[in-house]
């Protein structure tokens, strides 16, 4: 059963430093493809970290690794990901007359492949 | 054979990685590498120390190595023949290059737009609606006793902002530095900036407008009930306390990030913040500034404004500038399938734009200038490898508080600068048009 979350893409130090090593390099790709989740939500969903999950929005979908956030960092029901290809895939094209697509606070569902839970 | 590399020190170099553009770098350069970057933050160190001259062709046409001359001709041809071209990017290059890019847009009747439109573009719209009570970072350093960060995580995005400009430095009217200031952070996440704040307010996602409007009400003396906590996630008492601190400080400043401009509501969120800062000037001195991301995105706003009258999202198709975010902004002209060619300078829309925009960009011929290999370079009809601004080329950039600063390059590059490539494309376009 897909779980609903609000996804906040944003900047991280690691995204900024690995960007300089190259956007096509592994470290940058991993940083921008890892979604952080409230540790209580992780426990509830049986996730320990390092699992691959599927995120869907009304506009697109993407796979990402999931990691528990530090306690207190993220409220339950909120996910965080560093800006990059994965977050762009979940973003809609409509800018509502501003030039800026909704790029933060995205409604997404998270689906855990059955193989992960076995 | 041991080759002795020339070692030199570059004093007061400027880091162009983020909008802080710290101009107190001391770079130790050995040959074609920077081996030390004194005063640089973690992002600045990564920017300088990872920079090296890559072994890439100066230009690619349809993915194949080409001469600079051939690439200039092909780029000019694509842009001249286009019926709805766009010129986009510009925030990671010098003002001198930005100027020529706008001239090209004018010559070919393009929409000129910068990465501002997908970072603080809504803030630009809000400035036009409300106005900006503005100040320099120097004034903040010397005077601010209340510093608020809203929807911004400077510890990770602008690591020296706090230490160099806003919270830590000792100033003329805040002689004890951090001890003379109150620092407040408002964010959805308890970010790495939270430990640096005296007060952290964790707001519910997408409730910035409501919280800012509540603060406006409290500043004006309007009574609110406890229901505001259920709406915003922030207890009424904390909002009242913040409103009181804002009214009673001597010099307050609110730095806002893309937590406001990228979240639903966008320019309305920023308008609420600007209006709050404006209202506070009935009680004290209060200022507001956006936290700008790219090294010269503020320069892009300035250059496009001084050349067209508007900061981004400008169409020059009719021979005079028209400004309309949503119509002439690149995220829209691509996603709607309108643009038929593009000139992209120092940005990576193929990684950052929505899927429909990216798919359309992949279908049209476009020209890209970038020092590094990116997804946008990979799909370009013509790609130029250019020198990195600030490291290999001089020029002018604007700090996030609209203060222009000179660049002091560390060592030359075998690749041409953005300015040089753009100048040559402009000359070729002029030649085609005259024939």
Chosen domain end from B273, B290, B307: B290
Same domain for B276 and B130: yes
Distance of alpha carbon B111 from the chain centroid: 19
Partners of residue A98 in chain B, C-beta under 8 Å: 121-122, 125, 266-267, 325-326, 329
Identify whether the C-beta of residue B134 lies closer than 8 Å to the C-beta of residue B334: no
Provide CB contacts within 8 A for A3, sequence distance 6+.
A41, A45, A109, A110, A111
Partner-chain residue, chosen from B122, B156, B188, that has the shortest CB–CB distance to A11: B156
DSSP per residue, B267-334 = HHHHHHHHHHHHHHTTTSEEEEEE---BTTHHHHHHHHHHHHSSSSSEE-TTSS-EE-TTTSSHHHHH
Residue A117 has pLDDT above 70, yes or no: no
Give yes or no: residues B81 and B35 share one domain: no
Cα end-to-end span (Å), chain A: 15
Check B153 against A59: CB less than 8 A apart: no
B-facing residues of A in 27-56 (CB < 8 A) are none
Cβ atoms of B386 and B369 within 8 Å: the answer is: yes
What's the CA gap between B125 and B119, in Å, rounded?
A: 12
B250 lies in the same domain as B309: no
The reported pLDDT for the residue numbered B2 is: 53
Last residue of a domain, one of B258, B290, B322: B290
CA distances from B406 to B167, B387, B397 (A): 25, 17, 6
My answer on whether B222 and B237 are in the same domain is yes
| A8:B192 CB<8 A | no
CA separation for the pair A18, A30 (Å, rounded): 10
In the predicted model, is pLDDT for residue A118 greater than 80? no
Residue B92 DSSP class: T
Residues of B with Cβ-Cβ distance to A72 under 8 angstroms: 190
Q: Is residue B141 part of a domain?
A: yes
Chain B contact for A88 (CB, 8 A cutoff): yes
Stated pTM of the model: 0.95
How distant is the Cα of A96 from the closest Cα of chain B, in angstroms? 7
Beta bridge partners of B187: B202
Which residues in chain B have their CB less than 8 angstroms from residue A33's CB? none
- Give chain A's length: 118
* CA B212 distance to own-chain centroid: 24
Give bridge partners of residue B86 from the DSSP assignment: B111, B342
Positive/negative CA dihedral, B348, B350, B355, B361: positive
Find chain A residues with C-beta within 8 A of B331's C-beta.
Answer: 93, 95, 99-101
Whole-angstrom distance, CA of residue A79 vs CA of residue A3: 12
Q: What are the boundaries of each domain within chain A?
A: 3-117
**B155 contacts B146 by C-beta, under 8 angstroms:** no
* Domains identified in chain B, total number: 3
Q: Which of B153, B192, B326 sits opposite A98 (nearest CB)?
A: B326
Give the Cβ contact number of residue A28 at 10 Å.
22
Q: Is residue B174 located within the same domain as residue B142?
A: yes
pLDDT < 50 stretches in chain B:
1
Check residue B1 and give its pLDDT. Answer: 47
Predicted confidence at residue B26, as pLDDT, reads 98
- Does residue A61 have a pLDDT over 90? yes
The verdict on residue B59 lying in a domain is: yes
Interchain proximity A103–B262, CB inside 8 Å = yes
Q: How far apart are CA B80 and CA B103, in angstroms?
A: 13
pLDDT of residue B52: 87
Asked if A20 and B46 come within 8 Å (Cβ–Cβ), the reply is yes
CB distance B162 to B127 below 8 Å: no
Same domain, B111 and B142: no
Nearest to B263 by CA among B345, B340, B152, B167: B152
Tens of pLDDT, residue by residue over A10-25, are 999 999 999 888 888 8
**Residue B243 CB coordination number (10 Å):** 21
For the domain spanning A3-117, the CATH number is: 2.40.40.20
B157 and B177 share one domain: yes
Domain check: are B40 and B70 in the same one?
no
Length of chain B: 435
Q: Is residue B229 part of a domain?
A: yes
> Does A19 sit within 8 Å of B354, measured CB to CB?
no
Read off the CATH number of the domain in which B313 is found.
Answer: 3.40.50.740
Clarify whether residues B189 and B255 are in a common domain: yes
CA distance B137 to B403: 9
Counting one residue from chain A and one from chain B, the pairs whose CB atoms sit within 8 A come to 149
Looking at the structure, tell me whether residues B266 and B370 fall in a common domain.
no
Which residue in chain A has the smallest CA separation from B18?
A: A16
* Residue B2, in any domain of the structure: no
CA angle B360, B363, B369 (to 5 degrees): 90
Task: State the pairing for strand pair B366-370/A3-10.
Answer: unpaired
Looking at CA atoms only, how far is residue B206 from chain A in angstroms?
6
In a domain, B16, yes or no: yes
Q: Are residues B115 and B133 in the same domain?
A: no
Residue B415 placed within a domain = yes
Nearest CB to A60 within list B46, B153, B355: B355
The DSSP element (H or E) to which B258 belongs, if any, is helix B258-261
B2: left (phi over 0), alpha (psi -120 to 50) or beta: beta
B54 close to B385: Cβ distance less than 8 angstroms = yes
For B373-426, the pLDDT digits (tens) are 999 999 999 999 999 999 999 999 999 999 999 999 999 999 999 999 999 999
The CATH number that applies at residue B231 is 3.40.228.10
- Residues forming a β-bridge with A37: A68, A79
Whether B1 maps to a domain, the answer reads: no
Q: Give dist(CA A49, CA B313) in Å, integer.
A: 42
Mutate to test the interface with B, among A99, A102, A104 (most CBs of B within 10 A): A99
Residues of A within 8 A of B121 (CB-CB) are 98-100
Residues B90 and B223 in one domain: no
* Segments forming the whole domain that contains residue B395: 55-119+295-434
Distance between CA atoms of residues B136 and B126, nearest Å: 19
Helix (H) or strand (E) holding B280: helix B267-280
With contact defined as beta carbons under 8 Å apart, do B405 and B14 qualify? yes
Domain boundary among B238, B265, B290: B290
């Amino acid at each position: 059963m897909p779980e609903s979350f609000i996804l906040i893409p944003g900047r991280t130090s690691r995204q900024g430093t690995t960007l300089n090593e190259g956007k096509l390099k592994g470290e940058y790709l991993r940083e921008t493809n890892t979604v952080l989740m409230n540790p209580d939500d992780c426990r509830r969903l049986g996730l320990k970290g390092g699992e691959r999950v599927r995120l869907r929005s009304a506009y697109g979908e993407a796979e990402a690794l999931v990691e528990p956030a530090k306690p207190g960092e993220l409220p339950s029901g909120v996910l965080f990901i560093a800006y990059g290809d994965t977050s762009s895939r979940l973003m809609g094209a409509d800018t509502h007359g501003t030039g800026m697509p909704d790029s933060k606070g995205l409604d997404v569902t998270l689906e855990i492949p059955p193989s992960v839970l076995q | 054979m041991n080759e002795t590399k020339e070692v030199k020190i570059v004093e007061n170099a400027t880091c162009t990685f983020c909008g802080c553009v710290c101009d107190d770098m001391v770079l130790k350069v050995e040959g074609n590498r920077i081996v030390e970057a004194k005063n640089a933050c973690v992002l600045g160190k990564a920017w300088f120390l990872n920079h090296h001259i890559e072994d890439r062709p100066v230009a690619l046409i349809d993915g194949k190595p080409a001469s600079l001359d051939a690439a200039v001709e092909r780029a000019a041809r694509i842009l001249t023949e286009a019926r709805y071209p766009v010129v986009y990017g510009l925030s990671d290059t010098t003002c001198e290059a930005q100027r020529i890019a706008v001239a090209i847009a004018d010559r070919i009747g393009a929409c000129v737009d910068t990465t501002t439109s997908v970072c603080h573009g809504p803030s630009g719209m809000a400035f036009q609606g409300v106005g900006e009570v503005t100040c320099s970072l120097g004034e903040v350093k010397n005077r601010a006793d209340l510093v608020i960060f809203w929807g911004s995580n400077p510890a990770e995005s602008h690591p020296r902002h706090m230490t160099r400009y806003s919270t830590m430095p000792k100033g003329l009217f805040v002689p004890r530095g951090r001890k003379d200031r109150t620092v407040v952070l408002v964010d959805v996440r308890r970010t790495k900036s939270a430990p640096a704040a005296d007060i952290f307010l964790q707001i519910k996602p997408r409730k910035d407008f409501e919280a800012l409007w509540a603060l406006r009400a409290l500043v004006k003396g309007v009574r609110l009930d406890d229901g505001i906590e259920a709406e915003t996630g922030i207890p009424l008492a904390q909002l009242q306390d913040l409103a009181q601190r804002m009214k009673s400080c001597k010099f307050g400043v609110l730095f806002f990030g893309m937590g406001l401009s990228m979240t639903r509501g966008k320019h309305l969120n920023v308008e609420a913040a600007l209006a709050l800062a404006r209202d506070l000037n009935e009680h004290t001195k209060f200022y507001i500034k956006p936290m700008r991301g790219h090294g010269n995105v503020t320069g892009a706003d300035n250059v496009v404004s001084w050349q067209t009258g508007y900061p981004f999202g400008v169409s020059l198709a009719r021979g005079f500038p028209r400004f309309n975010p949503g119509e002439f902004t690149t995220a829209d002209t691509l996603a709607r399938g309108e643009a038929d060619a593009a000139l992209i300078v120092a940005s990576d829309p193929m990684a950052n734009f929505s899927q429909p925009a990216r798919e359309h960009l992949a279908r049209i011929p476009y020209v890209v200038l970038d020092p590094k290999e990116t997804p946008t370079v990979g799909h370009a009809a013509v790609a130029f490898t250019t020198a990195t601004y600030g490291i290999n080329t001089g020029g002018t950039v604007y700090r996030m508080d609209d203060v222009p600063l000179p660049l002091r390059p560390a060592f030359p590059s075998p690749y041409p600068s953005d300015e040089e490539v753009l100048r040559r494309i402009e000359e070729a376009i002029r030649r085609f048009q005259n024939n």
